[in-house]
Amino acid sequence: MGQPQQQSDGTEAGKPPLRVGMVGYAFMGAAHSQGWRTAGRVFDLPLNPVQAVICGRDAAAVRVAADRHGWASTETDWRALVERDDVDLVDICTPGDSHAEIALAALAAGKHVLCEKPLANTVEEATSMVLAAEEAHRRGQVAMVGFNYRRVPATAQARRMVAEGRLGRLRHVRVTYLQDWLVDPQFPLTWRLRREQAGSGSLGDLGAHIIDLAQYLVGERLAGVSALTETFVRQRPLPTGATSGLSAVSSAGTGEVTVDDAALFTARFPSGALASFEATRYATGRKNALRIELNGARGSLAFDLERLNELSFHDGTEPGAEAGFRRILVTEPDHPYLDAWWPPGHGLGYEHTFVHQARDLVHAIAEGRRPEPSFADGLQVQRVLAAVEESAEKNSVYTPIAV
């Protein structure tokens, strides 16, 4: 690993600090904390991330989170965090219903912003966030949306290979994101199952990831979709007390599930490739199976998040008798991000995507450039989500994506 000079408080000598204020401390808050804690220790960054303050409404719980994840102080009101002079960047790790309000306030207060996906709950909210981000960019601020799966070394390597033309002209893009944590009808009605908080269900939670990843890998934006969505279990027990990550305890009484459980859609890329997408929390036995396969005129590539240090590559230009899918172990210093980590052959995991995300954002801030994915990229994904919902309501009628 790279060995930047650390001081006892974790800051790095001789570099300007980037003081981070995080809103939210549950699953995504913990994941982003890993990113901020580790990025400057592994990568040689132009700015030194400092975990200044973390915010949550429950004072005792946020104190525990601060101690556990290495934050120097706490707040219980995000407005106070946003106004603090010792915060340069606001990292939004809350459910989607508060993304727009917090991001707009943070940008107005002169902060850089990192916002978890999906960017917002509606196209209107996302549009206002893009306008504010553009204005803020003219003042030197940077705003990024957190599609962390671009930062798996194997997906970044796949992007390189597509861009280099190793697959030739793309014909098929096949993407699924399969989980199974809702199979049990007794699983409680947590915020991810309420439209007013989450915006949508599997579609926004998982579909947003695969839309972004497919467009990133292909290097084009989808033109239109034909979709089906379904809510398999419409009533669920109400949760008692706090929920954490994907787990919760239920009580007596039930409530209505107001989001989709699964979304299925087909789409066309402008250059002609056909794409299919499936997002569900009901794929029994599939835990976090984000899979993508690209088939081009010269070859194919496949990736599976459950085997995230690998790519499967078929080079169609090889002699037929010897050709076939072969495994590329994406663990070498030549692969994206990996020269800073372990000796060759030593793999990474889910949490490292958040370290890479922090690294890339710090570089964008130091260089004053628009980060990728930007809020504008987040808005475009939001438009695809809206088109999927519109198409599904009209029984899968082809629905163009607004630009």
Q: How far is the CB of 148 from ligand SOE (least distance, A)?
A: 7
Regarding 261 and contact with ligand SOE (CB under 6 A), the answer is: no
Question: Smallest distance, Å, CB 165 to ligand SOE?
Answer: 30
How many residues are there in the chain? 403
Question: Cβ 275 to ligand SOE, closest distance in Å?
Answer: 20
Least distance between ligand SOE and beta carbon 167 (Å): 26
Identify the residue among 179, 226, 300, 382 touching ligand SOE (CB under 6 A): 179
Please answer whether residues 189 and 254 qualify as being in contact, where contact means their C-beta atoms are separated by less than 8 angstroms: yes
- Cα gap 344→346, rounded to integer Å: 6
Write each residue from 117 to 136 as x if it is in contact with ligand SOE (CB under 6 A), else as -, in one continuous string. --------------------
Both structure tokens of 51: 């975990």
Nearer to ligand SOE, 246 or 323 (CB): 246
Shortest separation between residue 147's beta carbon and ligand SOE, angstroms: 9
Q: Is 205 in the site for ligand SOE (CB under 6 A)?
A: yes
For 12, 37, 61, 65, the CA distances from 68, given in Å and listed in that order, are: 21, 11, 11, 5
Structural element, H or E, at residue 129: helix 123-138
Give the whole-angstrom CA distance, residue 231 versus residue 156. Answer: 33
If the CB atoms of residues 281 and 383 are measured against ligand SOE, the closer one turns out to be: 281
Residue 75 interacting with ligand SOE (CB under 6 A):
no
Pairwise CA distance, residues 61 & 47, whole Å: 30
Instruction: Pick the closer one to ligand SOE by CB: 45 or 305.
Output: 305
By C-alpha distance, which of 129, 130, 141 is closest to 89? 141
Rounded Cα distance between 69 and 49, Å, is 14
Residue number of the CB closest to ligand SOE reads: 205
Q: How far is the CB of 104 from ligand SOE (least distance, A)?
A: 22
Which residues neighbour 345 within 8 Å (Cβ) at sequence distance 6 or greater? 329, 331, 332
Q: Which is nearer to ligand SOE, 140 or 245 (CB)?
A: 245
Which residues of the shown chain bind ligand SOE in the complex (CB under 6 A)? Answer: 179, 205-206, 246, 288
